[in-house]
A = this chain, B = another copy of it.
């Protein structure tokens, strides 16, 4: 659960990419068509998503298919679930101030 992973997933364009990839595997040209962004722009975002392990690339001839890595998304989900769980217990504790 690195901080960089959360930051990578929180960007609007990358959120959009992740949602598109959650439906089916796509190559960059599909993402260009769906988002309207330039290919170099998308390539930069995809490199970042790869670097944090959120997606993986599969070269197929001159195309490159991208897919999500479910384990990573599960880890993020579990992270927030744990925070939610702990914070319910925390409602009973209030550290004295003075």
Chain A interface residues (CB < 8 Å from chain B): 3, 6-7, 9-12, 15, 18-19, 21-27, 29-30, 60, 63, 65, 67-71, 73-74, 76-81, 83-88, 90-91, 93-95, 97
Q: Which residue of B is nearest A98, CB measured? A: B63
A63 — which chain B residues lie within 8 A by C-beta?
97
Majority SS at the chain A contact face = helix
Tell me which of B19, B29, B87, B95 contacts A73 (CB under 8 A).
B87
In the assembled complex, the Cα of A69 lies from the Cα of B18 at a distance in Å of 26
Q: Indicate whether A24 sits within 8 Å of B94 (C-beta atoms), given known contacts A12-B3, A73-B84.
A: yes
Write the nearest CB–CB distance from A12 to chain B, whole angstroms: 5
Q: Are B83 and A22 in contact (CB under 8 A)?
A: yes
A11 — which chain B residues lie within 8 A by C-beta?
7
Q: Which residue of B is nearest A5, CB measured? A: B10
